[in-house]
Structure 1
């Protein structure tokens, strides 16, 4: 489907391209902290070093029609998931199926019920979403389409670096780092910029503004809730800097492990933050942006759950709330995307919007004892049919999925009572293409698979009745391209599987 791309480079061409790529990346913060396997901790005991983020040398080819399709449904997806998170009754019925078999889901739901009993202290919700797609070529269709891999409602990462990598590839084009033979493919018009940094920062700034003024005279701030020893720190820093420099919003980074130590909820349920470096000064938190708290491994003690409860019961706007985090589970995606499902139109009554979203769904099935689930179990346990599927648990982050022939083998080791904790999804078959990935100082060329993520921002006010809400902001917020070797099933950049990339739009 694509032209022969990228071209072979001679030694001088590759040296010139890599020199420019490495220097521009470090100068512009397209960087990560190195892994211990690349730079041993004894070499960098203070964690001062940074290295170029895993990137592609060339932007990857992507059909223009598919890019426009993914972009066109961003606001509809924002509408859809804000509606799902606002309908506690419907969401509860879906999550109840997981509570008996998934402790993590059960404990998140328990946090919601505890806060509900006390009464939610704020009606505002912010979603910074990323809907991930792959190009799917249907031999019977007139043109390729994008099909959704997953929808992320928490810690939708790489918004900071995606803006940088699209600028990197434009820079490499402008300094002649790409051979002139590519002039028919690569041009400034074929390389759309990613506006993810200003877009996501704008979403947070709108939430900060909607929070209102402090009732106790304290300065307001936005908290970035982060993991300890975060390697992907620069991705987050770009958003922090944009909030500060473009919107005048003060931000602080709060490790998940110190929430109970550094914050408190006052009698009015305001979340008060005391920075460890200035213990005599306090701030009122308008927004908590979670880049931590999405994985079961982060809740190794009751203290962690107490910390999540403290944040949730406070008046600070959460991005996301517990309900919005639960709305992003694979089970919800499956319920919406199971063939002939009636649920999509419940939340998207606009027929045109619903049809556009429906076209992005790949077939997904439950692994329970329903009629659709029984069919899925047959497909998953037969090695011949399992070859066309991926099995996914209710987890965020890379490295959790089970692919193709490995599915029947895993199911043999699991009691059937655990099977409903997974969903079965038909594999999306993207067109073949190649690229070069630069990671940890080495270049690797070969076949690749590309995944396009579209960011969206949505701010809404919860109504008095269940399912009632008022959407205040709803807009597209840039894109992310992630690319991995075609021998790798997983695509997480931070998990060590992929590279950040940008798109070169082509007509196919």
Structure 2
């Protein structure tokens, strides 16, 4: 997101890209973003306007290629790829686009099996001999499990048991419970602490890159301690709630607290409840007038803000901690009303594209 701040030294407005969050595994919109870019490019062509500033977007191809590389790495040409999906999901067309692209680039070698978390309990079994995950129906091995939903607090014991089978199996998983936790808000807050990036990029040649990464961070604070520093931070947030966002550990967008609600939560929380949240410096993004188009509604001209996300995949081998492939290609633009605190398509946003200048 592009943050807009006023420099206290000279009163000039400064702009910079700031990281809101990082998501691993269940990332939606990889198919819708490219379609928005294609539509906007066609509209510009019809108006005889330059289209060269609308960058190509192949996000769903990137995800599909990552899944294909994982399937190849598993080494069994008869193995299937399981899409673990949310039953009745509003994102099923996005999921299908990744599925069809995976089949296309594999020349139809890869068979995809879609299972909800409830279906997984009865339709997936763990081989006790070698921990291969197999389809109950015909015994075929599962090479890759691509999770598009969960874990969720409302899961039943059977759904958790199915997830445990997947985690214990030899199937390549995106994502594992461990990698999903690595993109949580709590871990994001820890990575923003001084010296943490340097743990992973310790070489002198990486210093410039480390500094560039740090430029994208905003203030992030854990609230689990009860020391003087934490108490002073909480007091400042209560007195100035518009400067902060209070975020629970929930994933998937929403659930955040702003302004007076943030103040009330900090006043009411027990220490245990407070520890389950992260306090984040609020980003003040650049606004622009734009039309927002939704199904069966009139187009609305409104003040809008934009979030930009970059897609990529990383395939690693846990046995020797090696990185097999690490690729980035494709992007997602979500535009929402400037008056909306929450982001996401389900919270009033729309898919968009870039027009660079």
TM value normalised by structure 2: 0.92
Matching residue of 2:292: 437
Aligned in 2, Cα 1:372/1:503: closer, same or farther, shift over 3 Å?
farther
Q: Does 1:386 align with 2:253?
A: no
Give the corresponding residue for 1:285: 142
Q: Equivalences for 1:154-303 in 2 at 5 Å?
A: 154-176=25-47, 183=49, 187-213=50-76, 219-247=78-106, 248=108, 249-266=110-127, 267-274=129-136, 279=137, 281-297=138-154, 299=155, 301-303=156-158
Map Cα deviations across residues 197-253 of structure 1 (whole Å, 9 max, x no partner). 111111111111111126xxxx21111100011121111111000000112322111
Aligned counterparts, 1:22-33, within 5 A: none
Residue 6 of structure 2 is aligned to residue 139 of structure 1: yes
Equivalences for residues 361-376 of structure 1 within 5 A: 361-369=217-225, 370=227, 372-376=229-233
Q: 1:348 is matched with which residue?
A: 201
For residues 356 and 206 of structure 1, what CA distance do their matches in structure 2 show? Answer: 30
> 1:505 aligns to what?
356
CA deviation string 1:373-428 (max 9, x = no partner): 3333122222xx11111111111112211112220112233222210111111111
Return the offset for 1:148. 0.3
Partner of 1:89: none
Cα-to-partner distance string for 1:333-359 (whole Å, 9 max, x where unaligned): 111224xx2212112223233222111
**How many equivalent residue pairs?**
345
Matches within 5 A, 1:451-466: 451-463=307-319
Give the Cα separation in 2 of the matches to 1:306 and 1:373: 39
Match of 1:422 among 277, 292, 312: 277
Deviates more, 1:440-449 or 1:364-373: 364-373
Matches within 5 A, 1:13-162: 134-140=1-7, 144-162=15-33
Q: How far, CA to CA, are the matches of 2:81 and 2:44 in structure 1?
A: 37
Does structure 1 conserve the Cα–Cα contact (< 8 Å) formed by 2:80 and 2:144?
yes
Q: 1:360 to 1:318 in 2, by over 3 A?
A: same
Question: Contact 1:294–1:396 at 8 Å: present in 2 too?
Answer: no
| CA RMSD of superposed structures (Å) | 1.8
Which residue pairs with 2:185 in the alignment? 330
- In the alignment, the residues of structure 2 paired with residue 454 and residue 489 of structure 1 have an alpha-carbon distance, to the nearest angstrom, of 22
> C-alpha offsets along residues 459-486 of structure 1, whole Å, 9 cap, x if unaligned?
111245xxxx111111113100011111
CA deviation string 1:168-206 (max 9, x = no partner): 111121223xxx7xx4xxx21110121101111111111
Q: 1:242 to 1:371 in 2, by over 3 A?
A: farther
Equivalent residue for 1:69?
Answer: none
Secondary structure of the structure 1 residue equivalent to 2:31:
helix
Matched residue, 1:108: none
CA displacement 1:108-133 (0-9 Å, x = unmatched): xxxxxxxxxxxxxxxxxxxxxxxxxx
Asked if the contact 2:4–2:13 (Cα under 8 Å) also holds between the matched residues in 1, the reply is: no
- Between the aligned partners of 1:194 and 1:380, the Cα distance in structure 2 is 40
Alignment partner, residue 234 of structure 2: 377
1:316 correspondence with 2:171: yes
Could you tell me whether the CA contact under 8 Å between 1:200 and 1:477 is conserved in 2?
no
Q: Is the 8 A contact 2:118 2:159 kept in 1?
A: yes
Unaligned runs of 5+ in 1: 1-133
Q: Is the CA contact 2:126–2:133 (under 8 Å) kept in the aligned structure 1?
A: yes
Q: Distance in 1 between matches of 2:65 and 2:355?
A: 26
* Counterpart for residue 331 of structure 2: 479
SS of 1:402's partner is coil
Higher RCO by CA contacts (8 Å cutoff, separation 6 or greater): 1
Structure 2 spans left out of the alignment, 5+ residues: none
Please, what TM-score do these two structures have when normalized by structure 1? 0.65
Q: 1:479 to 1:371 in 2, by over 3 A?
A: farther
